[in-house]
Structure 1
Amino acid sequence: MNDALDPLAIARQPTQRRARARFERILAEAEKLLTEAGLSGFSIPLLAERLGYPRGSIYAYFPTPYAILNELVARHLAALETLFDAQAQRLRSLGWREGIAAAIDIGVAYHNRHPAARILILGGAVTDASFRAQEQTHRRLGELARRVWGHEMDLPEREPEAATLAVDIGMACFRRSFYAHGRITPAYRNAAIAAMIGFLEPYAVPVRPRRATRRTNRRSPSQTEGEQT
């Protein structure tokens, strides 16, 4: 990550296998605790108690609770990006309007399946590190949209970055649903689709009408011979 970020908010990645296993176990239990207790009930002392670890063994990898939360944010964002990348060809084949609906459905399914992702991604950035991770992911998803639907849309890379803004708009609908209902409801799923399509409509490349085939009045050889006889 960027050197300007607070090092206490960033996990210290282990290299040895045994340490890596403990690192992963800490994160798995942290996600359970976050899901059960929310951000207000999340703490390293409580996490250590649940794991049966001394606190120092957690602080060795995660200097603060924010380091744990930021690592979870990064992992969920990476998982989302991988899902969209894997579906790029299918999304392209659907056309941009239906493709956006399908992309929204991927995001809805992921967030509704992972409560911790809803808390960390839709609940708002925990630190500068998580904010930057989310912004970078939105930008990469915007770049993916340009690659997938670039033949149907004129999406400029210069500011304003229309594709990235479209992702931001969809996520804003997700966040509103999370605040109101704790999950993404069908109504807000539909709102996200309508908002993104409405925003991107001006960038759609008009479909060129097919040229009509010119018909000639040429007579067939049989017709010509019949007239001559």
Structure 2
Amino acid sequence: MKTTFKMITLSTVAALSLTFAGQSFAASSPFSDISNIAIKDKIESLQSEGIVQGVSSGLFAPNDTITAAQGIQLIVNAADLNLALVRFQVEPKATDYYEHANNEAWYANALITASVNGVQLPADLDPDQKWTREEFTHQLISTIEAHFDLPKIKLAPVQIADSAELTIDYEGSVQRAIAYKVAKLDDQGNFDPKGEISRAEAAEQIFNVLEYVKAHPAPTPQAE
């Protein structure tokens, strides 16, 4: 069960470092294992901004499946979620929000940050579980839309050949991800929603969604 904390002022836990894969490695150390992949420039761009980091010094592991914890950390970084204006009466723990979390794990602060900022994750989340393509895409799009207040535009429905395999709750997010050109279908028009998503593909979605945000800023409120 999630615990509600009264938020007061600046949080000391905001000072904890955020990482993508569990350890903090210098962003200036280039990844030696992405030279032969098509999205090398996108990953390097995200690395330079501190949004993605490696699994070890100089290694990104682009073909590894992303875990829930890694995916959440990546989304937290991309959306620039933080606890800078928050303080808790009792120091929060990841297990206050997610019963299967480890309070000593590298991802603990990311889980707290995500929950406090309204990212909708199940209470029984397993941080070590490998995420599917539809899970990551849904969480990414839902979070980015909410926190960047994307303008409402009419999008034509996308024909997804394997749409019957989509989890109903994720269908809208996946449709919009494809319409935003954040995610893409394969040559047969399939999304493969239940397939595991690689770190490289997750990073590409992050790059693409941030480019979409830059091109579609939220409307400026009109003065009354």
Which TM bucket (shorter chain)? under 0.3
> Under a length normalisation based on structure 2, what TM-score does the superposition of the two structures give?
0.24
Which structure is larger by alpha-carbon Rg, 1 or 2? Answer: 1
> Under a length normalisation based on structure 1, what TM-score does the superposition of the two structures give?
0.24
Structure (1 or 2) with the greater helix fraction: 1
Which structure's relative contact order is higher, taking Cα pairs within 8 Å and 6+ residues apart?
2
